[in-house]
Amino acid sequence: MNKEKIVLFEKKQECCGCTACAAVCPAQAVTMQPDEEGFLYPVINEEKCLHCRACIGVCPFKD
């Protein structure tokens, strides 16, 4: 499998914080964490990540 680092969003405008990526992750590698403005964003734990890309596929902001 491609071991490239998974990037869920380049800019904050591209993530609404819906938690779908965290819910779908088979490795529980995604947790929602607050940024400096107090909004939750997904953060991937690289050590747990299986690079399956399920999180990218489920994201409603990537259609």
Partner 1 sequence: MIYGVYAAIHNDRNIVSASQSGGAFTALSDVILDMGGVVYGCVLDRTFRAVHMRADNKAQRDLMRGSKYVQSDLGSTFSQIKADLAAGRTVLFSGTPCQTAGLKKFIGDKGERLYCADIICHGVPSPAVWKSYLKWQQSRKRRRITDAVFRNKEGHGWHSHFERISFEDGTEVSSNVYANVFYGHHPLRPSCFSCPFKSLERQGDITIADCWGIDKIAPELDDNTGISLMLVNSQNGQELLDKAGDNMVLQPIDIENVMQPCLKEPFPEPEDRDVFWQEYRTKSFGYIARKYGRYGADRTPKMLVKRAVGKIRRIIR
Do you know the residue count of the chain?
Answer: 63
The answer to whether residue 10 forms part of the interface with partner 1 (CB under 8 A) is no
**From the CB of 30, what's the least distance to partner 1, in Å?**
12
* Rounded Cα gap, residues 48 and 28, in angstroms: 7
Which helix (H) or strand (E) segment is 43 a member of?
strand 40-44
The answer to whether residue 19 forms part of the interface with ligand SF4 (CB under 6 A) is yes
**From the CB of 23, what's the least distance to partner 1, in Å?**
4
List of residues contacting ligand SF4 (CB under 6 A) = 6, 8-9, 15-21, 24-27, 29-30, 42, 44, 49-55, 58-59, 61
